[in-house]
Structure formats: C-alpha cells, structure tokens
Amino acid sequence: MAVQTVESANAATPAAGSVDLGPAAALSCRECGHRVPLGPVFACEECFGPLEIAYDFAGLDAAELRRRIESGPASIWRYAPLLPVPADVAGKPNLNPGWTPLVRADRLAAELGVTGGLFVKDDSGNPTHSFKDRVVAQALEAARAFGFTTLSCSSTGNLAGAVGAAAARAGLRSCVFIPHDLEQGKVVMAAVYGGDLVGIEGTYDDVNRFCSELIGDPAGESWGFVNVNLRPYYAEGSKTLAYEICEQLGWRVPDQIVVPIASGSQLTKIDKGLRELISLGLVEDRPYKIFGAQAEGCSPVAAAFKAGHDVVRPQKPDTIAKSLAIGNPADGPYVLDIARRTGGAVEDVTDAQIVDAIRLLARTEGVFAETAGGVTVGVTRKLVESGVLDPALTTVVLNTGDGLKTLDAVADTGLTTTIRPSLESFHAAGLG
C-alpha cells in the first residue's frame, strides 16, 4: 500500500452520525494498537499500519451463541453476531453467500496418502462462484453504513464479478478495475452484471496502485473501494470460512488447513476466526497449523518463508493462477508470522502441477476447481510428499473458485472419441 496516498485516502467522507455495524466497536491498528472510530479508513494515522475491526464481544455466552448460530440462515449471516454488520442484515437485498459444502475427500486422501481425514472446503458454489462473495458481502454493509453509492475495487478477476453482482443486487453503481489480460470467463462474468468494468494496462499491482490514487481524487473520494478504503470490513468476511469449517466439523478446529495466498488477507482472517472461536469458547482450544499456497510464478511469500525472511520481496507475476497473482501482497508479513507461529509452512507449485491437481481433484471428488484450487491441492500433495504436512492429522484444503472460470487451464481436455450413432461404432471404439 503506497504510503503517500494514505492521508488523502483516509480523508474520504464518512456518513454523518454514528454507524450501526453490530458488534464492531472501533478500528484498531494491527501494528501499534491505535484506535479510531469506525469509518471508511484503512491505514493508521500514527504509523501507517493496517487497521482492523475491534469488537465488543462482552456478554456473549458460548452456549447461547452456538444455539443462535445453529438456528440462523444457511449463509454467512448465521455468524452475524461475530461480523461488522447490523443485526437486521439478512433482511436487506444481498447475495447471501456462504455455508458452502465441506466435502469429505476420501478418494483424494487415498491418492495423497492422507489417513487422518481430508476435507475440501468448496467455495465454488457461492453466488459468483468464488470465495470473494464472502468479503464483498461485508464491504457492501459497510458501504451502506457510510452512505457510499458506488462500489469499486481493484481485482485479479473474481472480486470484479463479486462486486458487480453485489452492487446489482443492492441497487448501487459499480465501477471496477482489472488487469486487461484476464481470463475470458472472469471478464464476461464481471461485465454481465451491468456495471462499469475497466481494463488497466498493467499488472494487478499497477491496478491497485491506481485505485489508491483514485481514492485521493475528487472523482473517487465518495466511492467505496471494497479492498481499499473498506478493506477492514471486507477482510472480516474471510473469517466465515474458519467459522463454517469448525461448525461443519462438529465445532472442532481441524489440525491443518491449506489456504491460497493472493494478498494474504484470507489466510490472516482464517487465523483470526479460529482464535475468536477459541476465545469465545465455541471450540476446544487445541493447536492448529496453517499452510499457505502459492503458484511458483507468483510466490513472494513462499520465497520469503523458505529463505527465513520477515520481509516479502515483490515479484512480477507470471502464472496461470491469475486470481492469486499479486506480486506485492499487503498481508505477506502477517502470513509469514502465522505460518511460523502455528508450525505451518508456505509452499508453491508449478503451473504444470496446478493443472495436474485440478484434474486430480475433479477425477477423485467431482469438484472442478479454478487454478487457485489447483494451487492448494498441488501444494497439499507436495507438503505430504515432503513430510511437512502430517498425513495422520485432520486436514482441510480450500477450493476458493470454480473451474468454469479458468477453462483454459485444462483446455486440452475433451472428447474421449467421436462415434457414429450405431452399436457397431460404439463397440469398435472399445467403450463397453
């Protein structure tokens, strides 16, 4: 995040009066702890560190909370008491993502040699077919609370579609920015919702830098950029993945979780979500390991992890896993902390291994993942083979997007054969 833009970006006008964002009490700096009132700001005025939501969970009784969650809607809103949203959120027009399947992956486990229980948290079934609907749903509530009428973002593809769809459902304008060379599936998906979709000649990191500048310009200062000035709210949406995984395992924390890394936000918030469940007494306090997964062609966090560095050196991405192609990941250093603190690791796989893993997951479990899912499954395989991931422990692998969005990755897949509509032709082909 460019420091020179922090003050201008923070100057965006919040709505007058107080905002109702449920249990969210304030924004707190992750670096220095400085607290400021809830508003559309993302960087600490004292030290430029990232702001995140501080909650007032006082008075939440674990048994009562658990009952409330279990009787809630089959969407992320069952966790509304733990999110920065008003209590009546489920009644407003919203895509209501989440509560996606936790697939018990026994056949994949057998192929990988995992014996302790392997699960795929399959987020491809969200309304716009990626995990991004979770984070956008939170940002939308913040945008409403602050009175923004245009939703925007910089996107590696999936976020563009999620923002376009959420804005359409909510009756807001959207104007989103993407690198000009994304997969057709993502461009079409983002455009069909009718908002403005702007290709930028550059990488995602160029797009993101441009958005930080736009926020300081009069044209953009009244816009809600879901992953810039609304980032503290947006980021909280990823906690719901941790909540759902634990609830779907019978209110139990898995031993190992394999998470894809783009900016690293999702991984840090999954950790935050697990720690919240533990401190609220909703799950037993037991150790867990978080593993980060990147593509070799964009592996700044994995490189830093392997080299034992605390800082992440930016890279220029070149990989088929475009949804993860962030060369300068904002949350990279926090990901390193979490991987090291929990005893996990950060690993990367080649594009060829990503494609193999997409096919492996599809063939064994009937789950067609986008390239990001190929990254997590491929990294899981690599970590089991190298003995870093313990095959005897319960392991959850995230699939964060739908394979239909990245068809090119497996474009050489096709017909087994073509026959004439006759039994003779069928038998000649050796099919039965």
Ligand X SMILES: *Cc1c(COP(=O)(O)O)cnc(C)c1O
Q: Which residues bind ligand X (CB under 6 A)?
A: 130-132, 158, 260-266, 323-324, 370, 372, 400-401
Q: Which two tokens stand for residue 183?
A: 């997969």
Q: Which is nearer to ligand X, 256 or 265 (CB)?
A: 265
Degrees (nearest 5) of the Cα angle 413, 416, 417?
Answer: 130
Whole-number minimum distance, CB 217 to ligand X, in Å?
Answer: 24
The minimum distance between CB 228 and ligand X, in angstroms, equals: 13
65 or 212: whose CB is closer to ligand X? Answer: 212
Q: How far is the CB of 301 from ligand X (least distance, A)?
A: 9
Q: Supply the minimum distance, in Å, between the C-beta of residue 77 and ligand X.
A: 20
Residue 266 vs 364, nearer CB to ligand X: 266
Closest distance between ligand X and the C-beta of residue 335, in Å? 8
The residue type of 405 is K
Q: Are 57 and 79 in contact (CB under 8 A)?
A: no
CB of 134 to ligand X, least distance (A): 10
Nearer to ligand X, 19 or 361 (CB): 361
Is 289 or 322 the residue whose CB approaches ligand X more closely? Answer: 322
What is the Cα–Cα distance from 19 to 88, expressed in whole angstroms?
14
Tell me whether residue 22 or residue 332 sits nearer to ligand X (CB atom): 332
Which CB sits closer to ligand X, 54 or 270?
270
Instruction: Tell me how far apart the 2 most distant CA atoms of the chain are, in Å.
Output: 78
Least distance to ligand X, CB of residue 280, Å:
23
